[in-house]
Amino acid sequence: MASRVRLSLPYAEAAEPERPPPALTSDLLEEIFLRVASPADLARASAACVAFRLLIADHSFLRRYRSFHPPLLLGLVSSSGFQPVEAPHPSTVVARAVAFSFDFLPRTTKLDHWYLRDVRDGRVLVDCHRGRGPIRDLAVCDPLSRRYLLLPLITDDQLASVGLHKSLILSRASFIPSGGIEEDTSFSVINWIQSQSRLGVFIFSSGSGCWSVSTSVSWGDLGLDQLDMLDSGQCAYDCFHWKLYDMSTVIKLDMNSMLFCTIDLPPGHDEREIVVVESGGSKVAMFSLLIREGTSVDYYTFPQNGSEKSHEWHMKITIPLPDHYYTSECCICGPVEGYIFIELIPDEEDPTYSTFFSLDIKSFNVERLGRTSYNFRTYPYFGFPPSMSPRRIE
């Protein structure tokens, strides 16, 4: 009879203990969080535990996240405050969590009023005339944290160094696009100042905390007479472009060489507003809107080949705008985050508000953003939910 073979089982204490699953390292968690498509979901994840919050709130992580995910278009900003985008815009739910005004800005008298000049990267540039000469006070603020930085005034000596004097001058300012993901506290402002005979440009850097005297040019050197105020400028391929009021001419400033030149626009652009954008392949492009007949936007391209003549602008497409709006009341601005923005006035007997639309620079898709009280200047506001906003104004 065959003998039975006994299988001997190891004692429980001799069995190898079960190993716990490997812990997720910070590097692995960061790669996971980078793939969270919605900033709102990322904000919820940051509230799950302290470790998640520290990782997600870190500035280096937020810079990486913004390089993968463009910021959300949350609403419109005017001097009266923030107006969230309206349904059916995809950012509607997140935008409802955002609210701010500008009542925290300093005022020495009741007559002081801060005016919006530009909005970019979650920051707002404002100016105010407080009775201290023709140069207006400038401030950069983060409305979500209610912090602001007053920029120093441009001195008389700086004005005189470029042939400008305090009498009979006008000034405007805007942000200089960073062109990439930089430190959250880093920004630059360009201030263009003009007199009857000259145009001067000054640059403010948050790194140095002061204005640098950059360049100036006489109207005569540009082949121009005395001019009214320049329109808002746009930066494309490190060059600023300003269209002249009531003229088919653009003044161009190369930010690398700090040299000025003029560009002729196609005939008939004296009554148009334009936005200059980058179109790829070292070409600039232009969206053009006829102010008194704003039923469509024309799109032009222009090769950067050094021969800047009007006949080299190529009209590529005409983009229709929504019906039932006053064609005599419209404006165009941008570019910001791949969009330009168009403000139209409803075709009503007594309109008290305007309607904003975004136009995607690549797809030419037009999307309604919402309504806001009619203001002289209204700007799009891109950002993150308040709990994720990394902006700081020191």
The answer for residues whose C-beta is within 8 angstroms of residue 312's C-beta and 6 or more apart is: 302, 303, 305
Please report how many Cα atoms fall inside a 13 Å half-sphere around the Cα of residue 189, on the Cβ side.
Answer: 30
0.75 surpassed by pTM: yes
∠ at Cα 73 (70, 77), nearest 5°?
135
Q: Check if the beta carbon of residue 286 is closer than 8 Å to that of residue 304.
A: no
CA distance 82 to 99: 6
Q: Give residue-wise pLDDT tens across range 310-355.
A: 558 989 999 998 877 765 667 889 899 899 999 887 776 566 778 8
Residue 12 has pLDDT above 70, yes or no: no
The kind and range of the H/E element at 30 are helix 26-34
Q: What is the DSSP string of 325-379?
A: EEEEEEEEEEEETTEEEEEEEESSSS--EEEEEEEETTT--EEEEEEEE--S--E
Q: Check if the beta carbon of residue 136 is closer than 8 Å to that of residue 129.
A: yes
pLDDT, average across residues 209-227: 87
Q: Which amino acid is it at 242?
A: W
Q: Give residue-wise pLDDT tens across range 355-382.
A: 899 999 999 999 999 888 766 678 999 9
Residue 16 burial (CB < 10 Å; 0-12/13-18/19+)?
exposed
Q: Give residue-wise pLDDT tens across range 159-174.
A: 989 888 776 678 899 9
The 8-class DSSP code of residue 209 comes to T
% pLDDT > 90, the chain: 35
Q: Check if the beta carbon of residue 191 is closer than 8 Å to that of residue 154.
A: yes
Q: Specify whether the backbone of 50 is left (phi greater than 0), alpha (psi in -120 to 50) or beta.
A: alpha
